[in-house]
Amino acid sequence: MWSHPAPDRPRNPRHHESWNYTPLLRHTRRVLVTIDLEQVQHLMSEHQSDVMQATTCDALPSLGRLEQYALFTYSFLVTPAQTQFLTVDTILYYISQHINNTWGFYLEPSSMDLRWSDCTGDAFALRNHQILIDLLRERRPHGTEGQEFGILNAIKDFDNPSQPYIMRMSCLKALPNPNMLP
């Protein structure tokens, strides 16, 4: 009964598609998140810690600008599946752990805010509850097809399906009123 299809009811070859869905290529772009931690030095100073300032070019003459830039940049690659649930709050937790592992000083994630900025000059304050995919869909719907560059918001198409969209952020001291940007 179950193993033999009835000849009067032909089998639908597409009946598996509803549960075996594979997103289209344009919906599966990875995201490279880069976060500038330079401004966190001020927050560390407020907590009477100079460990970040002790690792700058000013304090270490043998440290080059590129090395300092690398030290004060936190980055990670996000898979398409991770963009569906990764929140700003989780990213702040990752940053807090990175600062603790690198400089040995714990900063509460709630003491920091993220700003999303890019080479076009656009800057957006990010809220803790926001999900990465929602931010991308709202602010950069073209992020699956190309990367913006220059001040004219030109879009350069991706050459390769493996190229990630680059999301540039900066980490700053949390504002007392998150609805008011400086």
Q: What average pLDDT does this structure show over 110-125?
A: 81
Helix (H, G, I), strand (E, B) or coil at 70: helix
- Residue 78 located in a structural domain: yes
- Residue 84 located in a structural domain: yes
Q: What average pLDDT does this structure show over 21-37?
A: 72
- Residue 102 located in a structural domain: yes
- Give 137's contacts (C-beta < 8 A, 6+ positions apart): none
Instruction: Please list the residues that pair with 166 across neighbouring strands.
Output: 32
Read off the CATH number of the domain in which 102 is found: 3.10.20.90
Q: What average pLDDT does this structure show over 165-176?
A: 88
pLDDT at 23: 45
State how far the alpha carbon of 71 is from the alpha carbons of 52, 156, 170, in Å.
10, 29, 14
Cβ proximity of 127 and 90 under 8 Å = no
pLDDT at 1: 44
110 against 13, higher pLDDT: 110
- Residue 50 located in a structural domain: yes
- Residue 178 located in a structural domain: no
* The amino acid at 154: A
* The total number of structural domains that make up the chain: 1
Domain extent for 138: 26-173
- Residue 21 located in a structural domain: no
pTM: 0.77
State how far the alpha carbon of 126 is from the alpha carbons of 73, 106, 136, 144, in Å.
18, 22, 12, 20
Comparing 9-18, 113-122, 171-180, the range with the smallest average pLDDT is 9-18
Average pLDDT score over the chain: 80
Q: Is residue 41 pLDDT above 60, yes or no?
A: yes
pLDDT at 25: 39
What φ, ψ does residue 170 adopt, rounded to 5°? -135, 150
pLDDT at 111: 92
- Residue 134 located in a structural domain: yes
- Residue 124 located in a structural domain: yes
